[in-house]
Amino acid sequence: MPTLSFHQLTKHYGPVTVLDGFTATALPGRVTAFLGVNGAGKTTSMRIMLGLADPTSGEATIDGVRYADLPHPTRVVGAVLDQGFHPNRSARNHIRLTARQAGVSADMADDLLHRFGLGAAAGRRVGGFSLGMRQRLALASALVGDPSVLVLDEPLNGLDPDGIREMRRFLRSFADAGGTVFLSSHLLSEVAAVADDLVVIHRGTLAAAGPVHDIVTDDTDLESVFHDLIHSTDTQEVWS
């Protein structure tokens, strides 16, 4: 199962440095939460990992291979970013299109939609979907190629409590089956409930990384630890 690696990733947009030598990994069989305040560099890191942006220097790889060099990338990595949907395309046809892109059979479209609670909406235009339904459709799309890695940017946004619980269960089972999960979220309590490892980025550099139980001890909580981390200029490395 693949390991995600960010190695000395630097990204400049004109005079603005978004990433500054960011280095981190996400391991197979683990749910790795990627935390940082707005503008810390989370989405840019993920976009570089997925070949949607080029780094100024450094590299992001999946088992040593850049996303763009994977023969069938969506069969290796499933991604949920803020990609959109054509409002006039049905959910079923969206899944079928994604399957064609991945080069896999589209026969599972209805089953996949049913699994994510969208079976009854399969024939409906996505333009009429709620935010939560779109999130579930995005995750269903990410799974079309039966990937071994999930890269998810704020996948819990818009989900109701039941949806969040189902998402947690799903991510847990995906990682327990050996998959690599790398997700960003601002919902720290939800992250704490599902993540095995944390990667905290601040101002484009690694602020902390390691197993959750090493960073969040019994007498603290993730929220206070996160607050302390991003207000400290000292980089911590707590991988044991």
Partner 1 sequence: MRTLVSLELYKLRTTPAAWVSLGITLVLGMASVAANALVPSPGGPAFGSTDHVNHTLSVSALTSMVMLAMGVLVVAGEYRHRTIMQTFLGEPRRARVLAAKAVTVLGLGALLGAGTFGIAYAEAVVIYGARGVHSLPVDVAQLWIGAAVASALYGLVGVALGALTRNTVAAIVGAITWVMIIEVGILASALPEVAQWLPAGAAIALTSVGTAAHGMLAPTTAALVLTGWALLISGIAARFSLTREAH
Which spans of this chain sit near partner 1 (rule: CB under 8 A)? 47, 50-54, 67-68, 73-74, 79, 81-90, 93, 96-98, 100-103, 141
Closer CB to partner 1, 76 or 207, in the complex:
76
Contact 240, 211 (CB under 8 A): yes
Residues 114 and 208: their CA atoms lie apart, in Å, by 39
Contact 88, 43 (CB under 8 A): no
Closer CB to partner 1, 37 or 106, in the complex:
106
Contact 55, 11 (CB under 8 A): yes
Q: How far is the CB of 223 from partner 1 (least distance, A)?
A: 31
Q: How far is the CB of 73 from partner 1 (least distance, A)?
A: 6
Q: How far is the CB of 47 from partner 1 (least distance, A)?
A: 8
For every residue of 186-239, DSSP letters joined together read S-HHHHHHH-SEEEEEETTEEEEEEEHHHHS-TT--HHHHHHHHHT--S-----
Q: Where are the beta strands (DSSP E) in the chain?
A: 4-13, 16-26, 31-35, 57-62, 77-80, 149-153, 180-184, 197-202, 205-211
Q: How far is the CB of 4 from partner 1 (least distance, A)?
A: 15
Closer CB to partner 1, 89 or 172, in the complex:
89
Closer CB to partner 1, 50 or 209, in the complex:
50
DSSP 28: T
Closer CB to partner 1, 145 or 179, in the complex:
145
